[in-house]
Structure 1
Amino acid sequence: MTPATNEGHAMSGTGRCERELLPTATGAQTAAAVGALLRGHRMLAVAAVTVMVVGTGIGLLTAPLLGHIVDLVVERRGAAALTVPMVLLVVVAVGRGVATAYGSSLIARLGETMLAGLRERFVERALRLPLERVEQAGSGDLTSRVTSDVTLIAKSVRQALPEFSRSALTIVLTLVGLAVLDWRFLLAALVAAPIQVLTVRWYVRRAIPVYAAHRVATGALQHQLLDSVDGARTVRAFRLSGKHVDLVAGRSESTVDLALRGIRLMTGFFSRLNLAELVGLGSVLVAGFVLVRNGSATIGTATAAALYFHSLFNPINAALVLIDDAQSAAASLARLVGVSTLPTEQEPSRPARPMDGSVKVAGLSHAYVAGHSVLRDVDLEVRSGERVALVGASGAGKTTLAKLIAGIHQPSAGSVALGGVDIADLGPAGTRRTVTLISQEVHVFAGTLADDLRLARPEAGDAELREALARVGALSWVEALPEGLATVVGEGGHRLTVAQSQQLALARLVLADPPIAILDEATADAGSAGARILEEAAGRALQGRTGLVVAHRLTQAATADRVVVLDHGRVVEAGTHEELIAAGGRYATLWAAWSDSRNSV
């Protein structure tokens, strides 16, 4: 993999590498991506620039007209002589306003169109990234890019881009106007240029690293917030609240420190720009005095030159200030493009098809961090249609084994075969068609309940949706909703309970109808009553297919065809519930502890 420049690794407080962030594009890659988006809208870009040039050119007539009025007053031509220049000033103001407004709308349309294309490209690529790569980066990194980075770029497109375009054109054409008045006025105005150039170089050299680091710090903060909030129960259970508060506080402090560094840079930036304005305007006034005194220019011409330079204050400051927004937007843009440059999942040229629903794991080992194996030499065979429960203490490797079988992670060693075919020969798409994993973290998508279900099978009719819901015991409460299958759920819609969300996921499993299904503690968060309902629903959803259940409640293990016990990444026992109880080993100990906890409630 040779993606764009990598942002590196986020570090914990102890200096240990926590996660490998998604890459950030280089300047060349970012420019190439923008160019590719722009090529599809050449006519709109040309029209926008043309209208803006016309509007800015019309506006530049204001200073010469005012200078002409000054000459008329100096020559005592009378009030009648001022009528035509005054009318022309009104015409210029109206013409400039109309052209500028229309040009700004064209530029905004161009920017929004390109932004929409970039957003679609980003989402398409993000959805096709290997899940292992996303997990390595952490959820906060990806969510910060799709939320705060996109928001920042959108703000720049809607506000900064039109303003910067107007300012840049005004600066260029005003300098041309100064040269037309007298080339010596242009030279006088350019005295301020070295100060402005050095100011920009001073600022950019310091600002780019600060803004890039701020984006990374924001992603790290979001990642920590998500971890702490999503794992709130575990945090409280192990009395880790103080540690997590300290982690959030530390990352918040880092984000604030970087933001304050940016503010200090801006303060120094503006003070240098004010100095440039003083030097430049003073030079133009001195040049005007000299030229009027020796008869090379009229008072009106000198006035027009001074007005021209004064009119540069706002566009120059705006353009240079917008460099601040541009740097921040460029950092965000590079983060989006960096994701879009990542290679997507590679499919085999001729993907194989599984022969049945069997699972075979041979010599499987896996380590998230080199030297710290989570699984070690695991061998496991599951017959087609068999239901196997994976049991073990927290950290035994149950979820890791489930993810390896589902193809979410690639094993460090060993192999996984589904239906007699190695996962590599199935390819990512084939693996997803063969095996479905449902965890306790179920997402309800915004939209109608029917649309949410049809994510698993887009062509399914209402009758098929009801049949799937009935199979997992959810049809009664769905029909009781205000609009049944047409009820809007998810963000901004009807709020589903934890048990209802899990039933919805199980109904999607029934609709997808894979030969192999993995339930990773899918009933853990439903409470006792809800868990019993979900266990029955899960049992019906697994009928007719191979099932692997990461058992949070040992009642799930008791009803399985076979129980596999893991401890410290190894399979230590395997057999039926009755066989393992009789053996008096690790599983018997777990069952005794589980039974005692239930009886004490």
Structure 2
Amino acid sequence: MTISTSTTPPVLPVASMRRTWRWLTGEARRRRMASATALVVGLAAAAAATVPIYLLGSLVDRIDDGRSAGLVGLAVVIGVSAVIGGLGTGLSAFLIARLGESAVADLREDVLRHALDLPATTIEESGRGDLLSRVGADVAAVAKAVSQVLPDMLNAFFLGIVTVVGMAGIDWRLGLAGALCIPAYVAGLLWYLPRSAPLYARQRVALAERAQATVESIQGARTIDAYEVHAEHLRGIENASARARDCEITVFGLFTRFVGRVNRAEFIGLAATLVVGFLLVRSGAVTIGQTTAAALMFHRLFNPIGMMMYNFDEIQAGAACLARLVGVLDLRPSPSDGPPSPTAEPASADVEVRNVSFRYGSGPVVLQDVSLSIPAGTRCALVGTTGAGKSTLAAVMAGLFVPNQGQTLIGGVCVADIAEDRLRHWVATVTQEVHVFSGTVGDDLRLAAPQASRDDVLDALARVGARDWVTGLADGLDTPVGEHGIDLTAAQAQHLALARLVLADPRVVVLDEATAEAGSTAAGELDAAALAATEGRTTLVVAHRLSQAATADQILVMEGGRIVERGTHAELLDRAGRYARLWRAWRAHS
């Protein structure tokens, strides 16, 4: 197993600029009052912040004329206006940030909800790294842009509008002189945007690939140790990191060239204002104070405009991340072509797989014309070498994957015709990759049955043989576990997963190597726990240890995506076929 060093297009789509803009305007319309309030307060704050500069021009004229009367009052007005402008700017930033944070909070929940509803095939094809990067790093980047960058940029934009209007109010020619910088700014943006947008999109893809490489190595740590392929995986991570680093350097280099164009625009505007002001003063059209005010107004734009341009890369990065998040929202959450029938309900827990074939995307066929039948309440085991298609068949049977051909039926009803919430009520899957959720042990278990009482939870733990060690914890069911709690062993995590299964009480269970992560000392306990949890339920077991298969009502041997043998443990041993050879090999190494 190696990490690919080639850059491939992401399976999860990225929304177009037009689609992203539609999402933004839609969010603004949903919050019309908040948007209008932020706009009005921002413009009023910019106007108040411009008043002191205009009055400074009047102060210069009074001093130039030798008039000292009213200077104190004028200074007080300047100070009060400056305070009002500062408070207004702060209030505007708060309103804009609150508006943006509200939209981002809804976006975060919508994306996470949509991601949880995505078909399992989509996650398999795209890789978990891309999705984790979107719901994690991309959401954080958008939140940063909205809370830290967007308020400053919008306030700078408001100040720019008011400043140009103020300069034109002094004399239209001064306003026109200051506006000469606009073509230079526009030219800089027109040069920068077409070059930067693809770079930022490429940067996000590179970061997602780096995350994918890291996630694969962490999740496959035991396999990497077993096959001693550390060097290959380190090279894969290094290559992915190098691509991300190179993208960062390219983006920064482009931005520094953009800053040079911004400085050129500032020089053009200020020089034009001073030259035109000098000519107008000499002709008597304006006073020295008015020219001073116009020059100060324009000079004051340096910081906000510089901040706008400096933070433009943050906005670009945020826009690229937002496009990736909106792309997730545009994905169909259901793998079926149409909505499932809400009235379809299985008549029993009998499971039948009819002539199923399956492939991942455009890849090779993984399952070829597979058929099987599991009577209600019985236990069926899948065995075979790695890559035989066992886990894929289990996922198809559970309704997680939609087959290219054939169908899976529960109680005579095709799983595609069962409403999603009802299907999850009927079928539950436990894999070896169990997750311990942050919270107390009781909270973790009640995810499967929110209304379960304390006695119900303890009974479920007792059924899987976990009650003693759970009640032996410092606070019993109230002991924090997960990220902010105590660390549980792999066997303990599997115990909780099996107890959740008991609380969920499904009629059909799929165990995909559910006890594979346990060490040899805990293997027997977990196998017994799995038997107890699935007693009376229709069960398909992807067997990691053949001891799990030996107790099944029927055993299916898979090879190359097909079922090549089927029967009971004793029958298959008597045939002396593939299962018998696997059994002897397993016993020899046990």
TM-score bin, normalised by smaller chain: over 0.9
Q: CA deviation at 1:428?
A: 3.1
Identity percentage of aligned residues = 45
Q: What is residue 371 of structure 2 aligned with on the other side?
A: 379
Q: Deviations over 1:225-255 (max 9, x none)?
A: 1111100111222232222222212211111
User: Residue 428 of structure 2: SS of its match in structure 1?
Assistant: strand
User: Residue 60 of structure 1: SS of its match in structure 2?
Assistant: helix
- What is the letter of the counterpart of residue 518 of structure 1? V
Choose the corresponding residue for 2:537, options 537, 540, 545. Answer: 545
Q: What is residue 36 of structure 1 aligned with on the other side?
A: 26
CA distance in 1, matches of 2:246, 2:262: 25
Choose the corresponding residue for 1:503, options 495, 500, 521. Answer: 495
Matches within 5 A, 1:124-203: 124-203=113-192
Q: CA deviation at 1:283?
A: 1.1
Q: CA deviation at 1:301?
A: 1.0
Name stretches of at least 5 consecutive residues in structure 2 with no aligned partner.
none
CA distance in 2, matches of 1:68, 1:13: 66
Q: What is residue 585 of structure 1 aligned with on the other side?
A: 577
User: Is this contact kept in 2: 1:471–1:537, CA < 8 A?
Assistant: yes
Q: CA deviation at 1:72?
A: 1.7
- What is the letter of the counterpart of residue 128 of structure 1? D
Q: What is residue 525 of structure 1 aligned with on the other side?
A: 517
Choose the corresponding residue for 1:221, options 204, 210, 213. Answer: 210
Choose the corresponding residue for 2:412, options 420, 426, 445. Answer: 420
Q: CA deviation at 1:196?
A: 1.0
Choose the corresponding residue for 1:304, options 293, 299, 304. Answer: 293
Q: CA deviation at 1:81?
A: 4.3
User: Is this contact kept in 2: 1:37–1:118, CA < 8 A?
Assistant: no
- What is the letter of the counterpart of residue 50 of structure 1? V
| More off after superposition, 100-109 vs 422-431 | 422-431
CA distance in 2, matches of 1:371, 1:404: 17
Q: What is residue 55 of structure 2 aligned with on the other side?
A: 65
CA distance in 2, matches of 1:427, 1:61: 64
Q: Deviations over 1:405-439 (max 9, x none)?
A: 01111112222111221112224333222211110
Paired residues in the alignment total 585
User: Is this contact kept in 2: 1:347–1:429, CA < 8 A?
Assistant: no
Q: Deviations over 1:438-465 (max 9, x none)?
A: 1000011111222211111122111111
Q: What is residue 318 of structure 2 aligned with on the other side?
A: 329
Choose the corresponding residue for 1:398, options 390, 394, 399. Answer: 390
User: Is this contact kept in 1: 2:382–2:540, CA < 8 A?
Assistant: yes
Q: What is residue 199 of structure 2 aligned with on the other side?
A: 210
User: Residue 376 of structure 1: SS of its match in structure 2?
Assistant: strand
Q: What is residue 401 of structure 2 aligned with on the other side?
A: 409
Q: TM-score when scaled to structure 1?
A: 0.94
Query: Aligned Cα RMSD in Å?
Result: 1.6
CA distance in 2, matches of 1:173, 1:36: 27
Q: What is residue 87 of structure 1 aligned with on the other side?
A: 76
Q: What is residue 344 of structure 1 aligned with on the other side?
A: 333
1:536 to 2:528 alignment: yes
User: Residue 473 of structure 2: SS of its match in structure 1?
Assistant: coil
User: Residue 180 of structure 2: SS of its match in structure 1?
Assistant: helix
Q: CA deviation at 1:498?
A: 0.7
Q: Quickly say closer, same or farther: Cα 1:340–1:14, change in 2 above 3 A.
A: closer
Q: Quickly say closer, same or farther: Cα 1:118–1:371, change in 2 above 3 A.
A: closer
- What is the letter of the counterpart of residue 460 of structure 1? A
User: Residue 443 of structure 1: SS of its match in structure 2?
Assistant: coil
Q: CA deviation at 1:20?
A: 5.2
Q: What is residue 451 of structure 2 aligned with on the other side?
A: 459
Q: CA deviation at 1:32?
A: 2.1
- What is the letter of the counterpart of residue 325 of structure 2? L
Q: CA deviation at 1:525?
A: 1.1
User: Is this contact kept in 1: 2:378–2:536, CA < 8 A?
Assistant: no
CA distance in 2, matches of 1:518, 1:472: 16
Matches within 5 A, 1:558-597: 558-597=550-589
Q: CA deviation at 1:395?
A: 0.8
User: Residue 361 of structure 1: SS of its match in structure 2?
Assistant: strand
CA distance in 2, matches of 1:39, 1:193: 30
Name stretches of at least 5 consecutive residues in structure 1 with no aligned partner.
1-10
| More off after superposition, 167-176 vs 281-290 | 281-290
CA distance in 2, matches of 1:449, 1:130: 29
Q: CA deviation at 1:402?
A: 0.5
User: Is this contact kept in 2: 1:453–1:504, CA < 8 A?
Assistant: yes
Q: What is residue 53 of structure 1 aligned with on the other side?
A: 43
CA distance in 2, matches of 1:520, 1:350: 28
Q: What is residue 370 of structure 1 aligned with on the other side?
A: 362
Q: What is residue 275 of structure 1 aligned with on the other side?
A: 264
CA distance in 1, matches of 2:296, 2:14: 44
Q: CA deviation at 1:289?
A: 1.0
- What is the letter of the counterpart of residue 162 of structure 2? L
- What is the letter of the counterpart of residue 27 of structure 2? L
CA distance in 2, matches of 1:360, 1:142: 33
